Amino acid sequence: MNIPEHIFFTGVPGSRWSGIAQVIETIPGFNTSDRTPERSYDHHAYSGHKGAYFGRGMEFEPTHIYGYKHFDQAWTNTGGHKLIKSHDWAYSPQQIKVYHPDSWFIMVYRPDMASYAW
């Protein structure tokens, strides 16, 4: 399987998508050099957030409505596969595919009430 360099990854708050991201990033070849103490948020007894998050109000905000010109700035090492995490991707998956046709798009689903209760 040929995994692309950039994988757009999203889920609603409470879907536990950040924990799933951390499991995916254990696959050999994933670049996790975006992880710093400042980009680590632990909550409850669960894994929390690790690494860079993109989107409105985040460290890496969009430079225009459908794309980012600075994805790779979050990583200190070059190469490897990069999971580009944002809640915002859910709003425009078709446009992401237009601007980044060779990238994958992964959306985590969890039922509404379970996510809300979390």
Residue 51 CA to residue 75 CA, distance in Å, equals 9
- Percent above pLDDT 90 for the chain: 25
Residue 26 has pLDDT above 90, yes or no: yes
pLDDT in tens, 28-85: 999 999 988 777 766 666 567 778 888 877 777 766 545 555 678 889 999 999 999 9
Residue 16: inside a domain: yes
Question: What is the average per-residue pLDDT within 88-115?
Answer: 82
Phi, psi of 100 (to 5 degrees): -135, 65
Residue 72: inside a domain: no
Helix (H) or strand (E) holding 115: helix 112-117
Domain residues for 117?
1-27+48-67+81-118
Residue 60: inside a domain: yes
- Percent above pLDDT 70 for the chain: 75
Residue 63: inside a domain: yes
